[in-house]
Amino acid sequence: MATAKKTAQTKLSHQIWDRIKDIDLELFALPDQYVEVNATPVLDISDTELHLLLKAEAVLPQLEEKLRELKWDRNDPTKQLEVYQKSKFVVVKLASVD
């Protein structure tokens, strides 16, 4: 059981969710609008990409802006999160930027 839990925590999709879920989104002039409040992760689709279901379309532009500002690795500025829409999901994945 401990092995399965450890494996889940090392999946990149889980790492991405853990990193972004507490990001504050400036939405609807309301306080406490975090990613976790406005998006539901679907973690069993891919190990390397995080799939999200958004609660409102207005979340997407704010999410894109906040994730563009996020530095994934201070030692490697070429790595950042990429956000795109795929069917009913918003996909967040780690990408290299030239």
Phi, psi at residue 45, to the nearest 5°? -85, -45
Check residue 7 and give its pLDDT: 56
Nearest to 84 by CA among 69, 58, 63: 63
Q: Are 90 and 48 in contact (CB under 8 A)?
A: no
Tens digit of pLDDT per residue, the chain (98 long)? 455 555 555 799 999 999 999 999 987 777 888 999 999 999 989 999 999 999 999 899 999 999 998 888 888 888 899 999 999 999 999 988 76
* Range 2-96: architecture per CATH: 2-Layer Sandwich (3.30)
Check residue 1 and give its pLDDT: 46
